[in-house]
């Protein structure tokens, strides 16, 4: 059986900033799970990366994932 | 009485990555429950899978479902 | 006084799958409470059911309601 | 000092269905607080009430408010 | 150092209705923090205040902020 | 190894208002993590800062991040 790459071993991170980076990774993996073709994703990048509503929408997905990661890490308290 | 297929026996998964995969499944089942016709869904795939805002929106639904699955699994702590 | 139909006696369901079905029902009742005219809803169905962003948006509402139902059922643990 | 109408005395409701109705009320008050002119709201109604994405968006606001009301009522358990 | 105006001393309010009003204030401050120019905001008001999807989107931001305020006030129980 | 700038040392803030400012910062960092080019961001600013739906969407991302920060600070109680 093909061994799947382990890209999400844990939700726990040492710092809030690394938690925010994990939230970015989760958001991008959500896109990649829907469109695995990296060529297509590179082509689309110029669409959302140069569009105000696209950037705000991307920031919102990161915010939702960061909410999850923050709760998982008990807000690094 | 027609026996329904059991596709969601539990929210509990061994690892965060399998939790993320379950969140993807929940998101797709949300689409399928609204549009059961697989032919239509295949036809529509090229719309959202090649559209930046469509991909971001799909990632957001996964993020919301992943928030639910993570809480269900007590963040795999 | 006109007796209202009781369509939401409880948030508790025996299984996660029935919880997901209740989340779908809540999402549809949210639409019906805004537009009670079933003829209009039938006419509109072809709009969102054949539109990628419409289907993703519908799945998102189900995801939010499923988050509520899952918490209500303590994630069926 | 002008006495404000008390329209939200409590988040507690006897049943989940009344909780859902309160979520609808909160959603509508959110609209009214932004646009108090009922004539404008009546005129706009035909826009969103006959538009699939408008109805889905309205259902989503109800879902978020219902999440709040459900937690307030400890899911009527 | 320029003394900042304290507009958010606390999340605690005596009643749910005042909590809803604080949620409206938070939503508007979110807009103002992005666009501080009141003249621009007044000009834009006619856009969203006369647009069904704009009003629904505004109600959704209020719903998210009200969820935060309600939890902060332990649902005024 | 290039030393990363620490911009998010903690989620804890002395006051709710500083919590709201941190939520604004998180929202902007979500945009910057997607589009690091400040020149592009400055150019796009006039798009969303003069667009009602853009401003509402920005306020919504702040609301989601503020929900996270508020929970992290136990609502400054």
Q: How confident is the prediction along chain A (77 residues), in pLDDT tens digits per residue?
A: 456 799 999 999 999 999 999 999 999 999 999 999 999 999 998 888 899 999 999 999 999 999 999 999 999 99
Residues E17-47: pLDDT tens digits?
999 999 999 999 999 999 999 999 999 988 8
CB-CB: which of A49, A63, A75 is closest to F11? A75
Confidence at residue D18, expressed as pLDDT on a 0 to 100 scale = 98
Residue A73 near residue A12, CB atoms below 8 Å: yes
In this predicted structure, the answer to whether residue D31 has a pLDDT above a threshold of 90 is yes
Residue E70 near residue E9, CB atoms below 8 Å: no
CB contact under 8 A, D4 and E17: yes
Q: With cut-offs at 50, 70 and 90, classify the pLDDT of residue F4.
A: confident
CA A58, distance to chain mean position in Å, is 9
DSSP string over D22-50: HHHHHHHHHHHHH---HHHHHHHHHHHHT
Confidence at residue D48, expressed as pLDDT on a 0 to 100 scale = 83
Burial class (CB in 10 A: 0-12, 13-18, 19+), F12: middle
Q: What span, in angstroms and rounded, lies between the C-alpha atoms of F53 and F57?
A: 6
Instruction: Take residue A63 and report the two structure tokens written for it.
Output: 């915010």
Q: With cut-offs at 50, 70 and 90, classify the pLDDT of residue E75.
A: very high
Confidence at residue B37, expressed as pLDDT on a 0 to 100 scale = 94
Q: How many residues does chain C have?
A: 77
Distances (CA, A) of D58 to A31, B58, D52, E63: 26, 19, 10, 12
Q: Which residue on chain B is closest to A48 by alpha carbon? A: B52
Q: With cut-offs at 50, 70 and 90, classify the pLDDT of residue C2.
A: low
Q: Is A30 on the interface with F (CB under 8 A)?
A: no
Confidence at residue A39, expressed as pLDDT on a 0 to 100 scale = 94
CB-CB: which of D52, D60, D75 is closest to C60? D60
Residues B24-55: pLDDT tens digits?
999 999 999 999 999 999 999 888 889 999 99
Confidence at residue C48, expressed as pLDDT on a 0 to 100 scale = 83
CA dihedral for B12, C23, A62, A70, sign (positive or negative): negative
- Interface ipTM: 0.96
| Of B44, C67, C17, A69, nearest in space to F11 by CA | A69
Q: What span, in angstroms and rounded, lies between the C-alpha atoms of E42 and A2?
A: 59
Confidence at residue C3, expressed as pLDDT on a 0 to 100 scale = 63
Confidence at residue A4, expressed as pLDDT on a 0 to 100 scale = 76
Other CB atoms within a 10 A radius of the CB of residue F32 amount to 15
Instruction: Please list, in sequence order, all residues whose beta carbon lies within 8 angstroms of the beta carbon of residue F20, skipping any fewer than 6 positions away.
Output: E8, E26, E29, E33, F62, F66, F69
Q: What span, in angstroms and rounded, lies between the C-alpha atoms of A43 and C27?
A: 35
Q: Left (φ > 0), alpha (ψ -120 to 50) or beta: where does B54 sit? A: alpha
Other CB atoms within a 10 A radius of the CB of residue D1 amount to 3
CB contact under 8 A, E11 and F49: no
Confidence at residue A1, expressed as pLDDT on a 0 to 100 scale = 45
CB-CB: which of E24, E49, E56 is closest to D54? E56
Percent of chain E with pLDDT over 90: 87
H helix runs in chain B, sequence order:
16-34, 38-48, 52-72
Q: With cut-offs at 50, 70 and 90, classify the pLDDT of residue D4.
A: confident
Touching subunits for chain B (3+ Cβ pairs under 8 A): A, C
Percent of chain D with pLDDT over 90: 87
CB contact under 8 A, B31 and C55: yes
Q: What span, in angstroms and rounded, lies between the C-alpha atoms of D14 and E38?
A: 43
């Amino acid at each position: 059986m093909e061994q799947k790459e382990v890209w999400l071993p844990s939700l726990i991170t040492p710092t809030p900033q690394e938690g925010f980076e994990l939230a970015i990774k989760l958001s991008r993996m959500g896109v990649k799970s829907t469109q695995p073709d990296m060529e297509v994703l590179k082509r689309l990048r110029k669409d959302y990366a140069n569009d105000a509503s696209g950037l705000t929408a991307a920031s919102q997905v990161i915010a939702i994932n960061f909410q999850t990661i923050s709760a998982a890490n008990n807000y690094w308290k």
